[in-house]
């Protein structure tokens, strides 16, 4: 066994509690549960209150826009005070949000206000918090560790929608929101216990290799990456929230659609594990370029074939979205180091969140205007092709920010001056 594999094995052996805690946190965070389950509430809310699909989808848009705006500031808080201090307030706010949603009335402004509030107050339970912990804990196995931790979102997407669909069908959508609140409340103590004191605060991070925040912000490549990640999120983000509606429009039952959506969660897991495995071995931007082309082909299939190619659409979305969050975390650490990780990640995460936020509304507006999802699916495929080109022109990783384990100095493929 070579030295790098020994080091990676040691990291997994010593860091399994951290990895498990991050995985559970990512499964129930504000970026996962409200968005991943929104499709199940789309029909009930429109039926109950007479709102349009675009109006209901705008709630998710507002939530993610708020997370995107606050992400760079939350990154500063995480860098300075550590991750664990923001997790508990974030998860507590998310739990209260679901309870409030279970009591919502026909007031559309109040509906939007709740989404805005949780986007601000629960931001500490979002992806940047957990990926910083993983990046500081793992080096030789960083790509795989990120992929494994980020499958938490896929696990919740695979397991929660079918259960939630049954609860909503039997007891109503309000009971569905109460169920989500209970899930978050039960998961919180396990997350905090497993993570322990994994995070590093500002005084430690200053000694880590990496760009100062002003250096990173002056790098044009950072903003180019932001545009690429925005396009991927815009293309893929609204697919899951409208997937069940796409199928029910063609005569498929909501429960069957939820089961298929659960299968999509496993595709998300597959995409993240595959990406994590490959970027530890090959130059990450090239891996990303290929994944985006494959995903574009999947979106074209479901655009032309409808429900017949539902699985192809789920696979496309799972690969693209699964790879994207892996890549944001990995590329920030490789290109800019860990010194200002929270803030640099916050900038790129804002692009991802903006695209994810706008995407459900774009899908809804397209349906309201055209009566189908064909045009938006074809547009999504085009954006993924552009993103593939963007990834293919990224420069080599700088050697000075190599974040290998102290036990080895092996340089991964793709490093350069």
Neighbours of 49 (CB within 10 A): 15
pLDDT single digits (tens) 20-67: 999 999 999 988 888 778 878 988 999 899 888 778 888 887 887 888
Specify whether the CB–CB gap between 233 and 324 falls below 8 A. yes
Specify whether the CB–CB gap between 47 and 221 falls below 8 A. no
Return d(Cα 237, Cα 352) in angstroms, integer. Answer: 9
Which residue reads 């696979």 in tokens? Answer: 315
Which residue reads 């809310």 in tokens? Answer: 45
Highest mean pLDDT among 55-59, 184-188, 276-280: 184-188
Going along the chain from its start, the domains and CATH numbers come out as 13-400 (1.20.1250.20)
Cα dist from 262 to 7, 127, 161, 257, 380, whole Å: 35, 21, 6, 9, 22
Which residues on neighbouring strands pair with residue 398, listed in sequence order? Answer: 416
Which residue reads 């990291």 in tokens? Answer: 11
Return d(Cα 390, Cα 192) in angstroms, integer. Answer: 38
Name the E strands within 369-413: 397-398
Q: Measured between alpha carbons, how far apart are the two ends of the chain, in Å?
A: 29
Q: Percent helix, strand and coil across the chain, each rounded to 5?
A: 80, 0, 20
Return d(Cα 374, Cα 233) in angstroms, integer. Answer: 18
Return d(Cα 385, Cα 380) in angstroms, integer. Answer: 9
For residues 277-301, average pLDDT? 87
Q: Where are the alpha helices (DSSP H) in 218-340?
A: 220-236, 239-248, 254-279, 284-305, 310-336
For residue 416, give the 3-state DSSP assignment.
strand
- pLDDT tier at 400, thresholds 50, 70, 90: low
pLDDT single digits (tens) 198-218: 444 444 444 567 788 888 889
If you average pLDDT over every residue of the chain, what do you get? 81
Return d(Cα 319, Cα 407) in angstroms, integer. Answer: 33
For residue 371, give the 3-state DSSP assignment.
coil
Which one is predicted more confidently, 121 or 249? 121
């Amino acid at each position: 066994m070579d030295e790098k594999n020994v080091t990676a094995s040691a990291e997994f052996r010593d860091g399994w509690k951290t990895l498990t805690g991050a995985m559970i946190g990512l499964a129930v965070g504000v970026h996962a549960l409200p968005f991943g389950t929104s499709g199940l509430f789309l029909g009930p809310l429109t039926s109950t209150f007479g709102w349009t699909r675009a109006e209901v989808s705008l709630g998710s848009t507002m939530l993610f826009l708020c997370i995107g705006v606050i992400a760079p500031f939350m990154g500063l808080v995480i860098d300075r005070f550590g991750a664990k201090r923001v997790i508990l307030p974030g998860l507590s706010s998310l739990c209260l949000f679901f309870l409030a949603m279970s009591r919502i009335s026909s007031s559309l402004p109040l509906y939007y206000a709740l989404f805005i509030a949780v986007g601000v107050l629960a931001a500490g339970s979002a992806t940047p918090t957990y990926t910083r912990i993983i990046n500081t804990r793992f080096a030789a196995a960083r790509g795989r560790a990120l992929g494994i931790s980020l499958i938490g979102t896929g696990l919740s997407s695979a397991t929660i929608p079918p259960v939630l669909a049954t609860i909503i069908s039997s007891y109503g959508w309000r009971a569905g929101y109460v169920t989500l609140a209970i899930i978050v409340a039960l998961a919180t103590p396990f997350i905090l216990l497993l993570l322990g004191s994994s995070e590093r605060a500002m005084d430690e991070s200053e000694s880590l290799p990496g760009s100062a925040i002003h250096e990173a912000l002056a790098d044009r490549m950072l903003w180019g990456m932001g545009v690429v990640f925005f396009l991927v999120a815009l293309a893929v983000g609204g697919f899951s929230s409208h997937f069940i509606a796409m199928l029910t429009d063609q005569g498929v039952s909501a429960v069957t659609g939820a089961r298929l959506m659960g299968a999509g969660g496993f595709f998300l897991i597959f995409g993240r594990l595959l990406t994590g495995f490959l970027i530890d071995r090959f130059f990450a931007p090239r891996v990303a370029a290929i994944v985006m082309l494959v995903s574009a082909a999947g979106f074209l299939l479901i655009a032309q074939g409808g429900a017949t190619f539902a699985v192809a659409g789920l696979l496309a979305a799972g690969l693209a979205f699964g790879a994207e969050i892996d890549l944001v975390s990995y590329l920030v650490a490789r290109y800019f180091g860990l010194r200002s990780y929270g803030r640099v990640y916050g900038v790129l995460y804002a692009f991802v969140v903006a695209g994810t936020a706008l995407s459900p509304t774009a899908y809804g507006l397209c349906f309201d205007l055209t009566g189908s999802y064909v045009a938006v699916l074809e547009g999504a495929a085009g954006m993924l092709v552009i993103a593939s080109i963007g990834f293919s022109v990224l420069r080599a990783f700088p050697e000075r920010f190599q974040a290998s384990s102290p036990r080895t100095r092996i340089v991964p493929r793709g490093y350069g001056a």
